[in-house]
Amino acid sequence: MEKSWYPADLTQKPIITCVLCLRKKELQSHVFAVIWSAVTVLLHFKASTRLMHSKKIMDIVYKEYKHNPPHLFSPNSKYFITGATYKKKMGFKSNKAKERLLESIIIGFNQHGWFLEGWVILDNHYHLLANAPDNCNNLPEMMKDIHKFVALWIKKNIP
């Protein structure tokens, strides 16, 4: 069966448990997104305060960044990760560069305990679908390692 980006029937909204407020809710567009029928939490307003005061979800970490959107790290969850080249340059135009990126991603994921489910590598960006391990707080470190290695390789091998 072919995987789809959208559920077959968009009229039905499944009832699910929101990991941020631990209440059952209808699937809301501002709270959840559906990716390959897997529910991925986006964010609630003031989620950081709610997470700090909840003892039931201590393993979930909410981080805010100066130049990036906030991140919610939750163990054993699905993640949709996107990365792009600096100034959208066509750094992955050759198949060799795409293969090097994929090899680096697979090595990085294996070293940090993540499971890569799917990927798309385009000429200037990529998308990954991954399962987080019990310690998912290492995502920024893992992506930094992957990006550093690939950037050095592109700088050396791609004109």
Q: What is the pLDDT of residues 58-86, one digit of tens each?
A: 356 666 667 667 767 778 888 899 998 88
DSSP for residue 139: H
DSSP string, 117-131: EEEEE-SSEEEEEEE
Q: Which residues of 40-67 are buried (b: 16+ CB within 10 A; e: fewer)?
A: bbeebeebeeebeeeeeeeebbbeeeee
Report the alpha-carbon distance of residue 159 to residue 155 in Å, rounded.
8
Contacts for 47 with CB less than 8 Å, ≥ 6 apart: 20, 62, 70, 72
Question: Is it the case that residue 37 has pLDDT exceeding 60?
Answer: no
pLDDT at 61: 64
Q: Which residues of 140-155 are buried (b: 16+ CB within 10 A; e: fewer)?
A: eebbebbbebbeebbe
Report the alpha-carbon distance of residue 132 to residue 120 in Å, rounded.
18
105-132 confidence digits (pLDDT tens):
999 999 999 999 999 999 999 999 999 8
Domains along the chain with CATH numbers: 1-74 (no CATH), 75-159 (3.30.70.1290)
